[in-house]
Amino acid sequence: MKQNFRYALLWACVVIVMLCLISLTSPRRTTDFVQCIGKEAEKSSSTTSSYKPFCDYSSDRSDVCDMKGDVRIYGASSSVFFIRYHQNGDQVGDDEIVRIRPYPRKFDPNLLERIGEVKITSTGNTARAYTCAENQSIPAIVFANGGFLGNFYHDFNDALIPLFITSRQFNGEVQFLITNMKAWWVRKYKPILSKLSNYELIDLKNEDRVRCYPRVIVNLHSHKKISIDPSRTPGNYSMVDFARILRTGYSLDREFVDISQRKPKLLIITRSRTRKFTNTEAIIYGRAAGL
């Protein structure tokens, strides 16, 4: 357990260093919201202009559904009911069904097959939806704990950074509902997760009560590898802000390091199989050059 924590802390430090080297800006991508129509739903004339779409399929990294209003979640069956209304206030008549695998690697369909599916039913018929057993006044975010998580790179690239992008706007006033939950992963990154949510984390599959929220986001926004596009976040958040979360989570309070008296140190982590340095000795000799 202590060793896992030390590894997590080490990687947090590595990521902070990497953040300093990554460009913080990129051209804004035009967000093209499209109508969220599932395999089991058919387009009808009422879906063209009578109410706003609630899913975004425009990203090449993840499909995200953002529902505001009356949202009911029954975790045991990974089901979400969204009570829809037309813009004029009338309830939507026809049901729509959307299926989302909440892991931000849309470009990897083979991997997504191993991620639990969340079924979203958009309906105007409250009688078809579950009855609330617990009402919350805060929003919720549903995401998966599976995939490549357990690998430090993917822990940050596929989970922690996308989770920061999606949740930071709520300033901790949000609850996380996790599918494919791995308790050891949650324990390992508790210092970071506790800075993003002030509430208990819910293992969705083992939740047999119907939880109701005023807003639910299914899946995580992801911009690019190990990076954030500030122009695509609600508060122009950047990797600098993410690094600040890591520092506070692991009590690394020094935002700036005084190097006037000491030379900076460079940590190099090399792989032994898929990618590795071919000039390791030359890199070591760089120390003679003053590194």
Q: Where are the domains of the chain?
A: 2-25+47-249
Per-residue pLDDT of the chain (291 residues; tens, 9 = 90+): 555 656 665 566 556 555 554 444 443 333 333 333 333 333 332 333 344 679 999 999 999 999 999 999 999 999 999 998 766 656 666 788 999 999 999 999 999 999 999 999 998 888 888 999 999 999 999 999 999 999 999 999 999 999 999 999 999 999 999 999 999 999 999 999 999 999 999 999 999 999 999 999 999 999 999 999 999 999 999 999 999 999 999 988 777 766 667 777 777 777 777 777 888 788 878 777 776
Which pLDDT score is estimated for 256? Answer: 72
pLDDT value, residue 103: 97
Structure tokens at 135: 């009402």
| Contact present, 188 and 70 (Cβ < 8 Å) | no
pLDDT value, residue 107: 95
Q: Could you give the residue ranges of the DSSP H alpha helices within 38-177?
A: 109-112, 152-154, 161-167
pLDDT at 267: 78
Residues facing residue 97 across a β-bridge: 121
Euclidean distance between the first and the last CA atom of the chain, given in angstroms as a whole number: 34
* Sign of the torsion formed by the C-alpha atoms of 38, 39, 43 and 48: positive
Phi, psi of 136 (to 5 degrees): -110, 150
pLDDT of 27: 39
CA dist 18 → 13, 25, 44, 240, 267 (Å): 9, 15, 48, 11, 11
pLDDT at residue number 38: 36
pTM equals 0.77
Residue 281: the pLDDT is: 82
Query: Of the candidates 220, 210, 249, which has an alpha carbon nearest to the alpha carbon of residue 72?
Result: 210
Distance CA(42)–CA(264), nearest Å, equals 60
Which neighbouring-strand residues pair with 213? Answer: 71
Q: Is 237 helix (H, G, I), strand (E, B) or coil?
A: coil
* Cβ-contact 102, 179 below 8 angstroms: yes
* Opening angle at CA 215, ends 213 and 217, nearest 5: 115
User: What pLDDT does residue 244 have?
Assistant: 93
